[in-house]
Structure 1
């Protein structure tokens, strides 16, 4: 189970970091999706990016210290519940699937880290 957590944690961490970098760089797709379709203020981008960076760091730290990995995964689940909710609220069928994938991977990270020794 630990190897499964490690794989999920590293993949989810890399995906979260990529998303955070896109927010910080204010890439066209990120601005169009979050600001344009969802109405997220541009001033929130750094805060959202820091949340994702903290989650990614916690997932990696969770490879050595179980409680940090669990806490990071819980934080990411809460973050992506908000993201999925925002997409559904605005009926954004373009962005909801990717947020849902992040949410499912975050939930899987919790499950596998809790079970892993």
Structure 2
């Protein structure tokens, strides 16, 4: 069980951490996505910080399980909000969202199964 937990957690942390970096370095893609979803560009760094916190929280969950649980749950909520932002503007390009969402849900499930 630990192998599945570690693999999924590290994968989720890598994906969300990579996304956080693109948001925080000012890459054009997150800005274009914010414009598409009619989200103020001033939110892009904040969203990047939330992703970074979730990514680090997943990794911290190896040492403090409650932190990992909260980080995974927070990322599930983050990507639920992202789905709402997509649907609100009629965007049906959900493949990227689905990859992230399934990964963080899997991280939450294996975390709960391993620790509780």
Question: TM-score, with normalisation over the residues of structure 2?
Answer: 0.91
User: How far is the alpha carbon of 1:13 from its aligned partner?
Assistant: 0.9
Runs ≥4 in structure 1, deviation > 6 angstroms? none
For 2:5 and 2:101, the matched residues in 1 are separated by 15
Aligned to 1:60: 59
Of the three residues 67, 81, 98, the one matched with 1:100 is 98
Aligned to 1:18: 18
1:114 aligns with 2:112: yes
Aligned to 1:33: 33
For 2:11 and 2:84, the matched residues in 1 are separated by 23
User: How far is the alpha carbon of 1:26 from its aligned partner?
Assistant: 2.3
- What runs of 5+ residues in structure 2 fail to find an aligned partner? none
For 2:49 and 2:9, the matched residues in 1 are separated by 17
SS of corresponding position for 1:64:
coil
- What runs of 5+ residues in structure 1 fail to find an aligned partner? none
Question: TM-score, with normalisation over the residues of structure 1?
Answer: 0.90
For 1:91 and 1:107, the matched residues in 2 are separated by 24
